[in-house]
Homo-oligomer: A and B are copies of this chain.
Amino acid sequence: MILHHSGRATAGRIGILATLLAEQKAITHREIEQRLPQSLQLDRVTLYRTLEWLVENGLIHKITSDDRVWRYHANHESHSHQHAHFKCTGCAQVICLDSLPTEQSWPLPTGYRFQEIELTVKGLCANCC
């Protein structure tokens, strides 16, 4: 748990990051709240702001989804900065796929500039199959 970043290493930040590190999949604000220990009951807003801070400092990343809910996941070294995700259409679980969708230049209209790619594979997880 290295927090050599702009800002303070508070109990909340450490606990939230630990929670995310302990999780294989990407989880929602709600799920994080539920997993936090009794000793770490913090306000929803603080949780939102802490997650934002962890994202800005490159310790976690967040994933958009079609259910309008952000999911958060720790930045393990195993997967690169940019990677694809899988979302189960049965249980809504989201996992990170380590394979990059290749930055093969996408044929954009002329004058358009490429920045990044966002790729989600949908299907059924092993449990929901």
Q: Which A residues have a C-beta under 8 Å from some C-beta of B?
A: 64-66, 68, 84, 86, 89, 95, 97, 99, 101, 106-126, 129
Contacts and interface: CB of A to CB of B under 8 A. Distances in A.
Contacts of A125: 111-112
A66 to B, nearest CB: 4
B117 A122 contact: yes
Contacts of A84: 106
Protomer copies = 2
A86 B89 CA distance: 23
B89 A97 contact: no
A101 B107 CA distance: 11
A110 B110 CA distance: 40
